[in-house]
Amino acid sequence: MRRRSQSFPIFTLAILWLVGWTLRVPVLATPPLATRIAESYGLEAMGIGALTMLPVVAIAFGAIPATLLIGRFGLKAAIIFGVLLMAVASTARGYAPSSLMLFAVSVLMGFGVALFQTALPAATRVWTPGHIALGNAVYLNGMMVGEVSGAGLTLPLVLPLAGEDWRMALFLWSVPILLISLAVTFVRTPKDTNTAPKAGVKDLASTASLPNWNDTRVWQFGLLLAGSVVLFFVINSYFGVILDARGEREALAWLLLLYNATPLMASFVVLASPGWIGRRRPIAASAGLAVIGLALFTFLSGWASWLGALLTGFAASVELILLVSLPAVIAKGRAVTQLTAGMTLIGYGIAFPLPMIGGWFAEHLGWLEISLIPSLVFGVAVLILAGERRFPTYIWAR
């Protein structure tokens, strides 16, 4: 007789959700505090952009070494250490003696994120072997709520609790994250876990080799991913300073909340439309709408620009979800990991310099909105890839 499946893993799913929640909180708590941090360290527009984008590039380049560490020390240790490192480095940003050290600990925070972000997909296979899809959906939902929390609750809730001290605000955000890392220690691997998930974790280290750069999919999907990431983050990076320059600072708190709620709305839309995954048109449409929204935010002001920003947040998030879902659909076996690693490296790697270039132009030309132009131009350029005819179905599957 077939053995009964294990009981529903409510506690483990709750931990996965909480760990997913921590993925974006420290990163997206920075934009609401950007003007205050800039005043404390004397940062110009380029430096403000770096506050948000440096952790992003650390996530990109930290993914492959993170896989090696997971293979050496195990999933649970990697997740606990990654969450702890992220929390400690996030708090340390408030007490860095110089802007150089501020940027250094921001990179360290990003590496912590890369470490446990890389471990989470494998953790769902090992910790919830009978509910793998649900486990992935749970931590992804936690991540989306974390984006809303970090960006939307920092100004109206956390900063007042911190006595309007941005340094204390970063510390307060770290307290629940430290508690979550402690909670991870209580997760137990099910005794009836079959050998397939275990083998998958052991193979993680061996698949940590460099992606296959001769695979055209790595470049096409990596560049598309870069477009979605950079369009979302460039608005987050410069939202505060642009609204302040336009005399619209009073709208910043609620706009950040709405803007960073768009990924959560996007996740529900994609969940309701599973047929979009692996198709060209939904990705092309969302990429085009994201570009239109950024153009509206760049060249207009008031409510029209705000709607443009929200359109970009939603459309870029839909595009990102669809792209992240691609490797498991169009590749098989080891190629899934290699394609994911290559896409992540290219996507998040390119997402870093573009806002920095825009910030440099803004400093030297005196037009703050030009900080968005390089990202806008790149977004237009990658639309050509979204329209590539070979993209629409699964013909690239191997």
What is the per-residue pLDDT across 374-387, written as a single tens digit (0 to 9) for each?
999 999 999 887 76
Clarify whether residues 222 and 198 are in a common domain: no
Tell me which residue range forms the domain holding 290. 209-398
DSSP-based three-state secondary structure for 278: coil
Clarify whether residues 213 and 121 are in a common domain: no
Q: Provide, rounded to the nearest whole percent, the portion of the chain with pLDDT above 90.
A: 37
To the nearest 10 degrees (0 to 180), the angle between helices 216-245 and 303-324 is: 160
Residue that is written with structure tokens 């940062």 in the block = 43
Clarify whether residues 107 and 155 are in a common domain: yes
Clarify whether residues 329 and 341 are in a common domain: yes
Clarify whether residues 54 and 163 are in a common domain: yes
Clarify whether residues 22 and 132 are in a common domain: yes
Region 336-351 average pLDDT: 77
pLDDT of residue 235: 93
Domain count, the chain: 2
- CATH assignment of the domain containing 238: 1.20.1250.20
Strands, E, within the chain: which ranges? none
Q: Measured between alpha carbons, how far is residue 303 from residues 119, 128, 243 in Å?
A: 41, 45, 11
Check residues 186 and 138 and name the one with the higher pLDDT.
Answer: 186
d(CA 48, CA 389) in angstroms, rounded, equals 39
Work out the pLDDT band at 370, boundaries 50, 70, 90: very high
Summarised one tens digit per residue, pLDDT across range 42-53 is 888 778 777 877
Answer yes or no: is pLDDT of 30 > 50: yes
Work out the pLDDT band at 89, boundaries 50, 70, 90: very high
Model-level pTM? 0.72
End-to-end Cα distance, the chain: 37
Domain closes at, from 171, 190, 208: 208
Work out the pLDDT band at 6, boundaries 50, 70, 90: low
pLDDT of residue 192: 55
pLDDT of residue 384: 81
pLDDT of residue 193: 47
For 396, phi then psi, to 5°, come to -90, 0
Region 211-239 average pLDDT: 88
pLDDT of residue 280: 86
Work out the pLDDT band at 246, boundaries 50, 70, 90: very high
The neighbour count for residue 166, using CB atoms within 10 Å, is: 23
Answer yes or no: is pLDDT of 339 > 90: no
Answer yes or no: is pLDDT of 114 > 80: yes
Answer yes or no: is pLDDT of 334 > 80: no
Answer yes or no: is pLDDT of 2 > 80: no
Domain closes at, from 173, 193, 208: 208
Answer yes or no: is pLDDT of 127 > 90: no
Summarised one tens digit per residue, pLDDT across range 69-78 is 877 888 899 8
Domain closes at, from 176, 208, 240: 208
Check residues 392 and 40 and name the one with the higher pLDDT.
Answer: 40
Clarify whether residues 23 and 171 are in a common domain: yes
Answer yes or no: is pLDDT of 197 > 60: no
The residue type of 356 is M
Are the beta carbons of 112 and 89 closer than 8 angstroms? yes
Clarify whether residues 150 and 243 are in a common domain: no
Range with the poorest average pLDDT among 54-63, 159-168, 251-260: 54-63
pLDDT of residue 207: 44
pLDDT of residue 347: 87
Average pLDDT of the chain is 83
Answer yes or no: is pLDDT of 214 > 90: no
Are the beta carbons of 152 and 24 closer than 8 angstroms? no
Clarify whether residues 124 and 251 are in a common domain: no
Clarify whether residues 203 and 231 are in a common domain: no
Clarify whether residues 330 and 236 are in a common domain: yes
Region 87-93 average pLDDT: 93
Answer yes or no: is pLDDT of 202 > 90: no
Region 358-379 average pLDDT: 90
Clarify whether residues 60 and 198 are in a common domain: yes
